[in-house]
Structure 1
């Protein structure tokens, strides 16, 4: 577990919620080794997670979807209703798309497959803490399929968007479900520079978040 002072603004306080004790142990060990992430508690179901968030300051809840007592989607709704600024990142195998749709409707900030490597989960936690949205590549494609089904892509062009070469490269990587940190490493630029490019792309596309950027790119035929 992190030795960094929990009062530091860089420390993200998380709880891990899963009905499998082995999963809880593995994630606690992996994520607790990150210097900027502190695992302050674990829970075996959604009801326990709601109780923890009600009693303590939690930045991000890393939560399984399918659990007894209270599932992850229902727990997400209850946690966000508390109004404390806690964000929820759902872990799922996506056996049923109703969980994906339900989680989006409940206000979850992201979905990751349980096969996601720990380092990618850590990056997703940082993104969600900063107010971003995260979807694993597979689920992203399924969400996009539902958004664009029945809609003909526009001509593949960014000319009317007036994107710079750097912004076009950032857009391409966003469509590959890359995080800001991954984009920064790929392009050899600072994370803050990536954030600036993403904000500019959102403004030029007239959208409000990263997911909408990707949806609009696919509608324009630029997501391939």
Structure 2
């Protein structure tokens, strides 16, 4: 069973998500919060597997709440809820440890699938969100390729991480490198373990910080 906490200041939004999620017998909503502070307290009390976190709430915002929750419960997965996928706070939320983004216009099947994907340890990272990460790094001094953190990776793992940073899915990476999707996933899993990060979102951040990836064309 996947335990979910809903954190949004709009009652109707929470009610809608709660209704949609309850249609999946493997998902149960264990709590709700209307502010960032309440989300932190509730998460600490209930220990949910996944949190659907509104990025903008009264008082403590979703980014700060995400950071505080993951500092004490690193295994919790946070999906940021936003009105637009290109929200200006995308990078800050990802850097805080969020496992991905959902727009509030997402359909019922997409919502339930997103919760299952994140609960399984994967991440929601679309090419458009990746471009937001790229945009943040475009204004920073260029990093020298081959940073120390990447030295633990094999040449193939580095190549896979570079492709992940362009927003490619496992299937896309498999086609690019002429390998199976399972092999691509294995390389990603090993890279995540070697680098000690949570998921592919954090792989993208490291790829840009270490100069492995460049701007998307």
TM-score (norm 2): 0.66
Is 1:23 aligned to residue 33 of structure 2? Answer: no
CA contact (8 A) 2:130 2:166 kept: no
Give the direction of change, closer, same or farther, for the CA distance of 1:87–1:214 in structure 2 (3 Å limit): closer
CA contact (8 A) 1:77 1:106 kept: yes
Give the direction of change, closer, same or farther, for the CA distance of 1:14–1:177 in structure 2 (3 Å limit): farther
In structure 1, what is the equivalent of residue 110 of structure 2? 120
Give the direction of change, closer, same or farther, for the CA distance of 1:55–1:121 in structure 2 (3 Å limit): same
Is 1:59 aligned to residue 49 of structure 2? Answer: yes
String of CA shifts for 1:133-183, please: whole Å, max 9, x gaps: 3234422211123346787xxxxxxxx9569xxx98xx97995565x7xx5
Give the direction of change, closer, same or farther, for the CA distance of 1:72–1:212 in structure 2 (3 Å limit): closer
Give the direction of change, closer, same or farther, for the CA distance of 1:201–1:117 in structure 2 (3 Å limit): farther
Query: How many positions carry a matched residue from both structures?
Result: 196
Q: CA deviation at 1:96?
A: 4.9
CA contact (8 A) 2:123 2:200 kept: yes
The alignment partner of 2:43 has SS state of helix
String of CA shifts for 1:198-222, please: whole Å, max 9, x gaps: 436879xx89652466675996689
Q: CA deviation at 1:104?
A: 2.6
Is 1:77 aligned to residue 67 of structure 2? Answer: yes
In structure 2, what is the equivalent of residue 6 of structure 1? none
Give the direction of change, closer, same or farther, for the CA distance of 1:32–1:64 in structure 2 (3 Å limit): same
Q: CA deviation at 1:73?
A: 1.1
CA contact (8 A) 1:112 1:135 kept: no
CA contact (8 A) 1:148 1:219 kept: no
Is 1:48 aligned to residue 38 of structure 2? Answer: yes
Deviates more, 1:19-28 or 1:141-150: 141-150
Unaligned 5+ segments in structure 1 are: 1-10, 152-159
Deviates more, 1:80-89 or 1:50-59: 80-89
Q: CA deviation at 1:61?
A: 0.8
In structure 2, what is the equivalent of residue 92 of structure 1? 82
CA contact (8 A) 1:13 1:37 kept: yes
Is 1:103 aligned to residue 68 of structure 2? Answer: no
After TM superposition, the runs of 4+ consecutive aligned structure 1 residues lying more than 4 A away are: 148-151, 160-163, 171-178, 190-194, 200-203, 206-209, 212-224
CA distance in 1, matches of 2:37, 2:132: 29
Give the alignment's Cα RMSD to 1 decimal: 4.1
CA distance in 1, matches of 2:74, 2:202: 25
CA distance in 2, matches of 1:135, 1:162: 21
